[in-house]
Structure 1
């Protein structure tokens, strides 16, 4: 279809100014023509075949080419999708809708966009398919199960459902992980508490066992008897006569080095711990049955009157104080605090080997 003749305007420099066929901005192109010469159809997509001679003025572009191309492409996408959707919605095509024939012709005449909706060209159909089949699989396109708009909407809804499902799955997984972590922490705390309680129970049991053992040991020790010296030599025995005594010897002498520890023979109470004249430093321990044990000629005393002593307690050291010819322990045994008896016989009666 030929474009209507254009009115010539005042010549600008060596060219002519013509009214723009599209829009309100004037367009400058081509050399001067005669009145009888017909003007060619203007197509912005093609370069003019007429050689350009002389000086001419070109309209300044408004905006960048990239922005203009995107705008044209967006309009093309909208037009193509709309035309494709309407065509698939009605088997008779756009002609059956009032006014659609003129709209299709107008779209076809638009530069660049006409190629997108021209059904007579295979290349145009390929370009249109890029937009009208957006969101469709190849099977859906081949079978024509749904139009582009419905398929796209279905795909969007499916993607939204998929994302929601993934979000719910992640939320459930996080909840399960948090629950497992909390359960593990609780189990660890419970295990730690049980471990501490078990250690406390075992410690208490061990302390009780040790206490009972000590009580048993002390009880056995209190009930037991021991010799007063671990290393000794018997010298003067019970009942001997001599110038050292007024009558007879009332005890048994255990010779040992000065400072040798003297052990308590049996559990009892210290009745006396003091200087006793010819006996020197003397300790008297009274046993539970009233028997008195005398430890005489000591060089030192480690206990005081009234102290409770147990079998094998160190109560003093060997010396040579009082009426003594050398360091030794003079040991006497007096049942119920009365007359002295033979210490060796009494010790042997208690199970000791002397």
Structure 2
């Protein structure tokens, strides 16, 4: 019985599929070749590897492709999650993996390709950059907003403190003004009360005091200068009135002098209870005598022109406590509630 000889082995043809995958062809399936130590060429250099043939290259390329895809996926996820720019990792060009084992020096060199960009589209890269940028922008905006809140809070605190100080100053000023107004009102009220009390007192005194003559004209006041008076100035108050006009006691008292007195003519001195002496001078006649007590408004004499005079009038002098120096009769009479 005849036997068929085995079919001759097909020549090895390197795969042209990406990542070293050997696909089916029209010539039939390929056998897998497992290289042995004897079939491998010795390593010539640092970057050179031994050639492989058949399906072994396809299986090695498959494993390498899966590792590259896993590395790319991990790198992409890390880049997208951390928001940091992708890290470039150089590795041999995948398109030349099938030729790395051909023994040529050019194939052994390969080409460098960024591992983080393998299998990642431009849109995904831009999206990751946008996400990282938005996250950074959100953090910056949050920090700026926090700082703005702090600035606004501090400004509000300063403003509230300034308003409080202004309010305190306004309150203090208002209190001070109110106190000043109250003091002024009190002072005014006290002055008015004092004035009213003085008016009442003078009104009571006016009942006890009266002017010496009823109808008169003031022709000479206290302190007038002139050679007519021996002292060089007028020492009394002159009430000009016709001769014979009645002269009445200003207040109750005792007659201490009554008679001729040189330049004063006929003079009557009435001493009051407080010791004040009233001099009634230039009389035409005297109606009282020394030691006589008189009351307010009682007639003590008449107007005349005796002594050193230029016309009929009553010359009135006031000497407190009987002293030689006279005071202004006008002021004294007004102090008794009278208005000459």
TM-score (norm 1): 0.37
TM-score (norm 2): 0.39
Flag the structure with larger Rg: 2
